[in-house]
Structure 1
C-alpha cells in the first residue's frame, strides 16, 4: 500500500516509520522546512527510544521518504492519514480542529482518484463526519471514504505499542474502506492482534473514553495516597493489593505528582466539553481535571513543609522535568507547575533531566541545569525527585546527602523509602502516600 502521512509530529512520525516497516511505501508530509530537512538528514526531532534506527533502516530500504509537497504525496497514495495537532482551544477547552480541517481541504484539492482519508489525530465525536463534508465541498467529483484510526501510543514505548498493540481501532462507513484499512494493518491481522472495526463515532469515542478512564485511575490513587498519609497506610501496598484484583489491574495505580503529557490533559478537557455540549455532563471526568490540578498544588505544600515554610534563599535540586521517563515531552508536566512555584518563592533551582533540558530551558526560565544528579545536589537544601528516570533509581544516596547543605528529600515518585533515606543520612524525607520523617 502507498500511504501519505500528513504531519510529522509524535503520532505522525512514529506511525509513518512503523507503517514503512510493515512494508508499505510511506511519504511523510510537513509544512516546516526545517523539520523535513532534519528528517532527510536522518535526524529525529523527538526523543523516542529506537525510532531513529528504525527510520534510517526504512529510508535506506526505499520505503520511507519526507516532503513538503502535500499534493504530490496525496496523488501517489491509496490512503492519506491526517496526524496533525489538535491542541486544547483557548477559552472553551475543546479540541482545536483548525489543522485537521485545513489538511482535509488540501487533501481533497490534491486528490484525483479514490482514496481513504484516515484521521489519526485525536478528535471529538463527529469530526470525521465534518471531514467528509469538507472534502466533498472542496472536490465534489472525488471518490473517497473517511476512516477513523485513533492512536494508543505511550511515549517512551511507542514502537512496541505500534508493533504489538493491545488493539487497533478502525472506524469506517463502507466495506471498501474497511478492506483498505485491513490491507494496511495486514501484518497485525496475521499475528492475531485484536482489530476493532466499528463506526466512525464509536471509534472516536473509544479514544476519549480510554484516556479518560486511565486518567481516572491515576487521579483515584493520588486521592487514596493523600488519605493514606492521614491514616498511616502505605499507598504502595494499597496499590499492590488493589492491582492484584484482575478486574482492576495494576497499571496506572502509581501515586505521583499528577498526570501530564500530550494526551490526558487535553483529552479529558475535550471529553468534558463534548459532554457539556450534548447535555450529558461528564461529572467524573470534570472532577478528575480539578483534582489533578489540586494534586500538583499539594506537592508544592509538601516542598514548602520540607523547607521550613519558605522557599526564599533555599537551593533546590530537581531531578526530572519531563512528564514521564523516556521522552523529552514536557506538555502539562507537573514540573511546569512546581518549578515556577519554587522560583517564585525565592528558591534557586538546579534541574537535571536526561532528555528534558532542551524543552526545559524555554519553558522553565530562571533555573540552572546540571549534567548529573550529583552536581545538581551539590550545596542544595532540598532534593526533589519529579520524574522516575532509570538514572535516578539507583543513586548513591549517601553521596547525595553528603553533598547537600541540608539533606532533605521530596520523593514524589516513591522511588526510595524512608529507611533508605534515613540510612543515607537524610535529615528529612517525604514521599507520596507513605510515612516520612523529620518534617
Structure 2
C-alpha cells in the first residue's frame, strides 16, 4: 500500500543482522524470571508487547521461547530490532550448587518510524502502474493500529483512472484478539478489461477472531455501490483459518489454510446473486538460507455473476508470464498455483537514516506460476497456462516486500518484467475489483 521508502536503505549505515540476539551470558535456559522490563518503547504501549510474550514472571527463561516471541513481535511491524538481556541477582552460592540463577529479563526494541508522508504507488493487473500520494501512521495512539490515506492515478493516461482510499487495521480490539480491517475506497476509472465504467464506492469490514492459538473464525461485511451498474451490491461472508506459520511476514516454515463462504448481491435485472467458495492453502519449509513455498488459491462462484465481477489473470499479482491481461483472460472461477524457491541473500538488518529507523533484507526468488480460469463446468487443459519466473525481493517495513520479477510463458514466447508490493499471496486476493 505504501511506497517511496525503499531507496533509503542504499545509503544507510546498517546495524548488526537482526537475527536472534541474547546480549548476556546470564540469559541461560532455566534461569528463573523475577521481573520483566522493556527498553525502547517511546510510542508503543507496553501492553502491545506484553500480549505477544510467552515468558512470564516466575517462569523460566528459554532461548527457544524468545525466538518464537521475537517472530511474533516482528509481525507487529513496529520494531526494527528486538533482543533481550538479563541481569542476575540473588545469592552467590547459585553457581556453586548448580542452582539456576534469578534474573531480570529486559526486552530491548527499536521502534520503526510512525508517520510516513510519501509518494505512493501500486501496480495492478488491471490499471498497471499507479502513482500518487499517501500519509500513514503505523502505530496510532501506540496501540498497534495502522491508518492510511491514499490517492493514486494511473499513468497511462494520467488522471483518467483514479483511486481514493482509507485503510485502518489492528490485530486486537479493546484487548481482545479480534483482528479488524476497515477498507473505504472510491474508484473512478474505465475498466478496459471487463468494459464497464467503474465508478464505485466500497466500505468493507473484515474480522479475524483468534479464539485459540492457531485457529481463527473469520467474518466479512461489505457495502459496494456501482454508480454505472446495479447499484448496491452487499456481501456477507464467514470462514475459518488454521495458521501454523512461524511468522506471518516473511514466512520460513509452517502451513496456513483458510476456507470462506461469501454471498454476493441480491439479484434483480442488472444485479448479481452468487456464492463464492474460497480455499487458500500455503506451505513453507526452510533448509538453511533456502525457503520453499507452495501455495494454492481456488475460488468457485456458482450463481449469477456479471461481467464486472469476473476474475482476470495476467501480471505480477496473478500470472507472471502474462504481463498485460486482456479480455481473453476473464473468467467466473479461478485457480492459482505457485511453487517458489527463495534464497535469503541478506537477512533482515536494522538501520537508521536521518533519525528514521527501518529494516531491510534481500532475497533472490525463482518459481513456477500456474493459472486456471474458466466460466462453466469443470476446467479443461485449454483453461490452463503456466510460466516460470525469477527476480529480486527487497524486504522492508509497512510493505512487507517489493518484488522485481521477470516471467516467461511458452504461450507468449518472450520474457515479461513486472514489479509489485506485498507478497503475492496477499495481492492475488484483491483482483476481483
Task: Give the TM-score normalised by the residue count of structure 1.
Answer: 0.27
Task: Give the TM-score normalised by the residue count of structure 2.
Answer: 0.27
Query: Relative to total residues, which structure has the larger helix share, 1 or 2?
Result: 1
Query: Relative to total residues, which structure has the larger strand share, 1 or 2?
Result: 2
